[in-house]
Chains A and B, each alone.
Chain A
Amino acid sequence: MDFINLLMLGFGEAITPANLSFCLLGALLGTLIGVLPGIGPTATIAVLLPITFFLPPLAGIIMLAGIYYGAQYGGSTTAILVNLPGEASAVVTTLDGYQMARQGRAGAALAVAALGSFFAGTVATFAIAIAGPMLSQFALSFGPAEYVALMLFGLLAATILASGPVLKAIGMILIGLLLGMVGTDQATGAERLTFGAVELFDGIDFIVIAIGLFGFSEIITNLERSGSAGVTVAPLTRLWPTREDFRQSWAAVLRGTGLGTMLGLLPGGGATLASFSAYSLEKKVSKNPQKFGTGVVEGVAAPEAANNAAAQSSFIPLLTLGIPSNNMMAMMLSAFMIHGITPGPSVLTNQPEIFWGLVASMWIGNLLLVVINLPMIGLWVRLLTVPYRLLYPAILLFCCIGVYSMNNRIFDVVLAAGFGLLGYVFRKANCEPGPLLLGFVLGPLLEANLRRTLLITQGDPGIFVERPISLVMLIATVALLALMIFPAFRKKREEAFQEEEA
């Protein structure tokens, strides 16, 4: 098989000592910035980009790619340990991961996250190698109409994220949609809900909301509950996952990997959408959906596998068509261009060592991440034994630095503090912030694509049922809605929660 030879060529390139060390350096840096909230991979790569001028092309690109997928790993660490999503794609990991940590199972959660990510990374890397060009066609067939249908489905599925009453979940989604509208309207240039503040012209940053609603409000709640004694963490029962944990999570990892690989291809949402959807899907197929949010291992395994798979597969449109699917990939495109390489089909034929070398290094990078991260779990878990009065000012400090460094402005920090208070109110009212974040992410995409569709068709909504992908997703949405309204199902759902409350 030709592809085996090419893959061998790639591994030959990737395991030269220089390339291997740049891969390790990138993975380490990525893990570090993933752990620090707010300091994202895009900014890090931008800063490091000029340094890669002095490296051979492949070494530079390998390092930058390492930072990217390393950050996906690191983001889950703080999400699990202190309920602080380091990256947008780690938000759902907090739901069950943090609960597991509080029950003394932080080690298991971290290990499942790392191993799930590794598995997903491996599968997605092979997907790039085998089916890259074919999958990129799937990405292109997603036009504005398909996005509208996908977003509608995603929003409805967001109600599944919450473990409380459906009505509250819908309320939170609507608040999320409203927050997503803040900023300059793309189609008309009009300001919406900015109250004249120039800092709001481009809308609110996801990190500001995530850190406020999750990080800050968690700290407030903890301090209120127990003063500076803080979180009461059950003693560590076991550092590694049990056989039972593996048994429960392997299917979730598989589903998360599949979903993540597909969603990672699509421009826009990428890893974030993938992790949200994987969590919703797990909850939907689970026999015990009411257990989600209380520390079930599938709730960590699925989104972590999905966001890592998506991080890898988002390289496909870039490598095969030369189109970046998100900001991060746009940075990678610049990195290629700086070295005089134009990503696209011609790279595959003219410089196969670049394409296959990168693909091979991704797999090696994923392996390195597991090797780096597994021994560190013991160290991370010990972080939980740090007295809370020392831990929470440190968390606050890192959050503030992270939020500030996004746009270098204090306004964002104040805004995040505001969202912290709002998050506290939501907690008191038993409203979960997960659906709010999903509404916030998907709302602007839904709106922009709905307007694009109707502009292109000059106001004819028929396109939504004429295009097959869009039609299928709309039918799925209606089916899901019917399921939710269907009385027997609703009764079962409510019973389940009453049991839980009792």
Chain B
Amino acid sequence: MKTIYALPLAAAISTLGATAALADWPTDRPIEMIVAFAPGGGTDIMLRTLAPYIEADLATQIPVLNRPGASGEIAYTALAQAKPDGYTISSLNTPGFLTMRIDRELRFDPAAICPIARIVEDPGMFVVQEGSPYNTLEELVSFAKENPGAVSIGTTGVGTDEHLAMLQLEESAGVDMTAVPFGGANEAKTALLGGHVTVIGLNVGEYAGSEPGQIKGLAQFTEERSILAPDLPTAKEQGFDVLMSSERGIAAPCAVPEEVRARLAEAVDKAVANPEFQEKAKQQGLALSYQSGADWAAAMPERLARYEEIIKMVKEGQ
């Protein structure tokens, strides 16, 4: 509670200070980019690849600082506590950023963090082994109907995109499946290839970049098919209401002056549009999908409401 009272005052004071420093922004010192995950993760590599292009546009330096842990809460807390002078920005990932507030008392105020730009939207999907008897979501669901609990779905933990997607499918199809948590997508994939679980959740970006002939997709969880997997039907097309995607972008404290945030967003927009960056993004299987901070922020309440609903359903079910 104390932090929430203190915030407006702190914000007012630091805005005052920031306006004075604004004249020099962003060239008088480096802009620190906090990444909420350990080095080597998808978000980390994406931002390290992107940073040089933003640096070139802003004529400054952007060192990356990893602050992993608590699915991003540590990084967001650090961002919320940083001086709002435009010299500290961070990564922003959904659904994590949205779902963490549902069940947990946070050490930062989510409303104090403003998205600057979305860079990637990567839809979720379900995949099975290449030799699996299931070719569509329908076939999987009809097996699950007759054998409650027998379908095991590898996820990367409770409340992650894969888990939320499974819960939506269970609700939409009226079936009962078993979530098996793994330490990461690679561990889950190993278990799938070894035949230890039936299905795993992946992102379309990971699916598109994987070796052909090992796995096959059942459905992607988008409104419209992703450009990375144009031949894979969506869950909606197959008659199941499952929508799930993970988004990655950049955020800054809301107390950072509007014009600084706008300038940052512009620089990210230019960097993402750079053909050189797009070529590298393609190699990394990044589903680029730029969205301005304002648009992204506007879409968040609806997503949050959907996640709250799913999580409420689970609690009632228990």
Contact = CB atoms under 8 A, between A and B. Distances in A.
Contact of A199 (B51, B69, B196, B284): B69
A184 B70 contact: yes
A42 B39 contact: yes
Given A331-B40, A458-B149, A202 B157 contact: no
Interface stretch (B4-12, B176-184, B265-273): B176-184
A38 B245 CA distance: 35
Interface stretch (B60-68, B229-237, B256-264, B301-309): B60-68
B81 interface: no
Interface stretch (A44-52, A224-232, A417-425): A44-52
B49 to A, nearest CB: 6
A46 B48 contact: yes
Identify the interface centre among B40, B67, B149: most chain A CB within 10 Å of its CB: B40
Interface stretch (A21-29, A248-256, A275-283, A334-342): A334-342
Contacts of A189: 103, 157-159
A323 B189 contact: yes
A452 B103 contact: no
B92 to A, nearest CB: 18
A337 B181 contact: no
A140 B45 contact: no
Contacts of B73: 198, 201
B150 to A, nearest CB: 7
A140 B195 CA distance: 8
Interface in A445-464: 448, 451-452, 455-456, 458
Main secondary structure of the interface of A (DSSP, over half): helix
Contacts of A267: 186-187, 190
Contacts of A47: 39
Given A46-B48, A143-B191, A330-B40, A198 B107 contact: yes
Interface in A22-67: 42-43, 45-47, 49-50, 53
A456 B194 contact: no
B211 A342 contact: yes
A141 B193 CA distance: 9
Contacts of B152: 455-456
Sorting the interface of chain B by its residue count into under 10, 10 to 19, 20 to 34 or 35 or more gives 35 or more
B70 A198 contact: yes
B52 interface: yes
B260 to A, nearest CB: 24
B180 A46 contact: no
Contact of A456 (B70, B180, B187, B280): B180
Sorting the interface of chain A by its residue count into under 10, 10 to 19, 20 to 34 or 35 or more gives 35 or more
B211 A322 contact: yes
B74 A198 contact: yes
Contacts of A188: 158
Given A142-B194, A323-B190, A452 B284 contact: no
A407 B69 contact: yes
A339 B209 CA distance: 12
A451 B182 CA distance: 10
A295 interface: no
B44 interface: yes
Contact of B186 (A139, A323, A340, A407): A323
A45 to B, nearest CB: 7
A140 B49 contact: no
B197 A407 contact: no
Nearest to B194: A140
Nearest to A323: B190
B210 interface: yes
B70 A139 contact: no
A338 B44 contact: no
B16 interface: no
Nearest to A328: B40
B285 A337 contact: yes
A385 interface: no
B214 interface: yes
B94 interface: no
Contacts of B209: 337, 342
Given A42-B40, A143-B191, A186-B157, A344 B214 contact: yes
Nearest to A191: B104
Interface of A: 42-43, 45-47, 49-50, 53, 139-144, 184, 186-189, 198-199, 201-202, 267-268, 317, 321-325, 327, 330-331, 333-334, 337-340, 342-346, 407-409, 448, 451-452, 455-456, 458
30 contacts: A42-B38, A45-B40, A46-B40, A49-B40, A53-B49, A53-B280, A139-B190, A143-B194, A184-B70, A187-B158, A199-B74, A267-B190, A268-B187, A317-B190, A321-B211, A325-B190, A327-B40, A330-B40, A334-B40, A337-B285, A338-B45, A338-B284, A342-B209, A346-B211, A407-B66, A408-B67, A455-B178, A455-B180, A456-B196, A456-B197
Interface of B: 38-40, 44-45, 48-49, 51-52, 65-71, 73-74, 77, 103, 107, 149-150, 152, 157-159, 178-184, 186-187, 189-191, 193-197, 209-214, 280, 283-285
Which 10 A/B pairs are nearest by Cβ-Cβ distance? A46-B39, A344-B211, A143-B196, A201-B70, A140-B194, A189-B158, A331-B40, A322-B211, A340-B283, A46-B40
Given A53-B280, A139-B190, A327-B40, 6 more contacts: A49-B40, A143-B194, A331-B39, A337-B284, A342-B210, A344-B210
